[in-house]
Amino acid sequence: MIASPGGVAEWPKALVLKTSEGRPSESSNLSPSAISMQSSPPGVSYDCYRRIMMFCLNVHGDPASSQSVHSALQFAKATVASGHEIYRVFFYHDGVRIADCNQVPPQDESNLLQQWIEFAEEHSLELTVCIAAALKRGVLNEDERARYERVAANVYPAFSVVGLGQQIEAAISCDRTITFPG
Amino acid sequence: MRFLYLLRRPPYSGSLAAEAIDSILVAGVFDQRVSVLFKDDGVLQLLKDQQGQLLGHRSVNKMLAALPEYEIEELFVCARSLAERALSLDQLSLPVQVLDEVGQQTLIAAQNVVMND
Amino acid sequence: MTRVTIQLDKDGFLVHLTDWNEVTAAELAAAQNIELTEAHWELIHLVRRFYSQFEVSPAMRPLVKQVREQLGEDKANSIYLMQLFPGSPAKLLAKIAGLPRPTNCL
Amino acid sequence: MTSLHLIFSAKGLRSCLGIIQPEDALLLIEDGVYAVLEDSATRLHAIEDDLVARGLQNLHADNVQRIDYSGMVELVARHQPIVSWH
C-alpha cells in the first residue's frame, strides 16, 4: 500500500517507501509537533511513510569569508544520513573558491576542502563549479589552463568545471533546490 | 517548473548581480517558467541610466533589459522596497509589476524553485 | 600599411574585443571556412547591436527572436542560421562578430 | 505546499517577515541565529550548532526551537519552495 501525506499528485516522481524499520529520520531531534505538518490521510501518521527525495545544493559563499561552504557540507551529510540523496552540488559566485587545491588552512582550523572531497568520494557525490565564475576568480582546471595559457591549473580533480546549464538542469531534476548564499 | 529569482543585492557589489542575471538567462533557455522579484537593494538594479563600464562592469540595467528577449517577462518589484528608497516606476528601466506583501506571498508559494543572487 | 597581430584564445575568440573591425571579422570567418556575404553581415551587425544594447551575447532563442523582428520571419529559423554559421550559430556568430563567448552556452 | 525560509542574517529575517504565511517554517542558520536577540514573537527554528558556536545557547527565547542538520533535512523535505534570505 502506498500512502503519503500532502498528496502524491504534487510529486511526479513520487517514490513512497515504508521505512518503519530502521527509519533514518529517528536521528532527528524534531518532535512531530515542532514543524508544520502536511495533513495526513486519516489513520496514517506522517512518520510511518517516507519518500526518498533528491536535493540539489547551490553554494555561493567564499570559504574564507562566509560560512556557507561549511553549512552546506553539514546539510549534505545530514541529507545522506537521512536516506535522501544529493543530485549535485553546484558552487557558484565566490563558492567556486572551495575547489582551489592550493588552499592551506591553518592547522587549528578545519580543512573544508578535504572534508568535501572525502564526503563526496564516500557517497559518489557530484561536485561542480561554474566555469564562468571560476575563470573570473582564477580557479582553473587543466583544460581551461591550456585554453587561456595560464601558469597552473588549481582545481582539485574531485570537482568538475561545468556550465551554468548544470545548475538549472539540477534544479529541474530535483525535488528540492537549496541555496547557501554568501 | 516555476523558477523565481529573488534579487536583493545592489547592482555593483562585485559581480554577484551580473552573475545572477547570467543564471536567469540560462533558466530562460531551458524553457522554464521564470519570474524575477526585485526586493530590498535589488530594486536598485533596475535604475535607469547606469554606466557600469565606469567600474569595469557590464551595466546591470542593460543586462536586465535582455530578459524579455529570453521570454522572461514576469518581473516583479516589492512595493515597500521602492517606497523605502522613495523610488517611482518611471525611474526604473523596465516595465515591472509592483507587488505588495500579499502579492509576494502568493508569488513565492507558487514556486518550485527559488534562486538567489 | 602596418601589420597587426590579433590575439585569439585557443577557441578562436578575440582576447581584446576592441581589436574587432570588419577586416578582423572576415579573417575570423575565413578561419572557420566561411566567406562573408551580405547575409552574414546583416547577422553580424544584428548581434553586435544586441550586445551593445544588452551587454550579453545572445543565446539561440533570443537570436532567432531578434532575427524575426529585424530581418523577417523567413530568416527566423535555425536552419537558415545554420546554413550561414554551421554547427552552433549563436556561438560562431559571437566569435566572428567580436563578442564575448556566450556565458550561457550549454 | 508551504515554504521554508532559511534565514542567514538578521537583515534577511526583517526582509522576509512581511511576506511569510502562517504555515511557512522559518529556520535561522549561520549568522541568522543572531536574530534570536531581536525577535521573540515569531515561531522560529534555529540550527543548534550555530547558536552554541556563537554563545547564544542560553539567550534565546521560548519561540525558538533548536534543531540539528537532520532536523533541517526534515524541514526541507516537508516544504517547497526553499527560500534563502542572506
Q: Please write the tens of the pLDDT for every residue from A67-109.
A: 999 999 999 999 999 999 999 999 999 999 999 999 999 999 9
- What HEC string does chain B produce? CEEEEEECCCCCCCCHHHHHHHHHHHHHHCCCEEEEEECHHHHHHHECCCCHHHHCCCCHHHHHHCHHHHCCCEEEEEHHHHHHCCCCHHHECCCCEEECHHHHHHHHHCCCEEEEC
Q: How far apart are CA C37 and CA C39, in angstroms?
A: 5
Instruction: Name the band, by pLDDT with cuts 50, 70 and 90, for residue B26.
Output: very high
> Yes or no: is domain D4-85 CATH 3.40.1260.10?
yes
Measured in angstroms, the CA of C95 and the nearest CA of chain B are apart by 19
Judge: C54–B70 Cβ closer than 8 Å, yes or no. Answer: no
A35: closest CA among D77, B105, D20? D77
To which residue does cell 500532502 refer?
A6
CA distance C85 to C90: 8
Is C83 inside a domain boundary? yes
Return the pLDDT at C105. Answer: 52
The answer to whether residue C50 scores a pLDDT higher than 80 is: yes
pLDDT at residue A49 in the model: 54
Burial of A152 (0-12, 13-18, 19+ CB in 10 A): exposed
pLDDT tens-digit map of D52-79 = 999 999 987 889 999 999 999 999 999 9
Please state, rounded to an integer, the average pLDDT across all residues of chain B: 97
pLDDT at A19 over 50: no
pLDDT given for residue C51 in this prediction? 97
More confident residue, A26 or B108: B108
Counting every residue written for chain B, the total comes to 117
Which of the following is catalytic: A48, A56, A101, A130?
Answer: A130
**Is C61 in contact with C67 (CB distance < 8 Å)?**
no
- pLDDT at position C57 over 50: yes
Is the CB of B4 inside 8 Å of chain D's CB atoms?
yes
DSSP state of A107: T
Measured on CA atoms in the order B72, B57, A178, C104, is the torsion positive or negative?
A: positive
Q: How far from B89 is each of A145, B61, C80, CA to CA, in Å?
A: 46, 14, 40
Catalytic site residues of C?
105
pLDDT at B63 over 80: yes
pLDDT 10s digits, C7-20:
888 888 998 999 99
pLDDT beyond 80 at B40: yes
Report the pLDDT averaged over residues B50-67: 96
CATH of the domain at C34: 1.10.10.370
Contact D35, D44 (CB under 8 A): yes
Q: Which fold has domain A54-180?
A: Hypothetical Protein Ychn; Chain: A, (3.40.1260)
Q: Does B30 touch chain A (CB under 8 A)?
A: yes
Bond preceding residue D22 cis, omega within 30 of 0: no
Is A49 in a helix, a strand, or coil?
strand
C-alpha cell at C100: 564575448
Q: Do A74 and D49 touch (CB under 8 A)?
A: yes
Structural domain harbouring C65: 17-96
Q: Which subunits have 3 or more CB–CB pairs within 8 Å of chain A?
A: B, C, D
Q: Which residues of A66-94 are buried (b: 16+ CB within 10 A; e: fewer)?
A: bbbbbbbbbbbbbbbebbbbbbbbbbbbb
How many domains does chain C contain in total?
A: 1
Q: Is A4 exposed, middle or buried (0-12, 13-18, 19+ CB in 10 A)?
A: buried
Mean pLDDT of D8-12: 95
Q: Is C43 inside any structural domain?
A: yes
Closest listed residue to residue D76, CA positions, set C22, C20, A178: A178
Which one of D70, D74, D84 has the shortest CB-CB distance to A181?
D84
State whether A178 and D76 contact (CB < 8 Å).
yes
Q: What is the DSSP letter of D59?
A: T
Interval D12-41 mean pLDDT:
93
Cβ within 8 Å, pair A180-D84: yes
* pLDDT over threshold 50, residue A36: no
- pLDDT-derived band at C5 (thresholds 50, 70, 90) equals confident
Chain B positions touching A92 (Cβ under 8 A) are 19, 23
Chain A contact present for B110, CB below 8 A: no
In a domain, C9, yes or no: no
ipTM higher than threshold 0.85:
yes
How far apart CA A54 and CA A173 sit, in angstroms, is 8
Cβ(A178)–Cβ(A58) below 8 Å: yes
Q: What angle do CA D53, D57, D60 make, to 5 degrees?
A: 125
What's chain A's average pLDDT? Answer: 81
User: Which triple of cell numbers denotes residue A19?
Assistant: 521505512
**Residue B46, Ramachandran bin (φ over 0: left; ψ between -120 and 50: alpha; else beta):** alpha
Regarding chains D and C, contact by 3 or more CB pairs under 8 A is answered as: no
Higher pLDDT, A14 or C85: C85
So what's the pLDDT on residue A78? 98
Q: In a 3-state reduction of DSSP, which class is residue D66?
A: strand
Residue matched to cell numbers 510511518: A48
Residues D6, D31: contact at Cβ < 8 Å? no
pLDDT value of residue C1 = 55
- At residue A6, does pLDDT exceed 50? no
pLDDT of residue A152: 96
Distance CA(A181)–CA(A95), nearest Å, equals 9
Q: Tell me whether C7 touches chain A (CB under 8 Å).
A: no
Residue A176's nearest CA partner among A47, A96, A82, A61 is A82
Mean predicted confidence (pLDDT) in B101-117: 97
Q: Which domains does chain B have, with CATH numbers?
A: 2-116 (3.40.1260.10)
Q: Residue A44 is which amino acid?
A: V
pLDDT of residue B34: 98
Round to whole Å and give the CA distance between D8 and A180: 8
Query: Torsions phi, psi of A97, nearest 5?
Result: -65, -15
In chain D, how many H helices and how many E strands? 3, 5
C7, part of any domain: no
Reply yes or no on whether the pLDDT at C75 is more than 70: yes
Q: Is B17 on the interface with A (CB under 8 A)?
A: no
Contact of A93 with chain B, judged by CB distance below 8 Å, is answered with yes
**Selection from A18-27, A148-157, C94-103 with the highest mean pLDDT:** A148-157
Domain boundaries, chain A: 1-52, 54-180
Cell numbers linked to A165: 546549464
Q: To the nearest whole angstrom, how far is the Cα of D8 from the nearest Cα of chain A?
A: 8
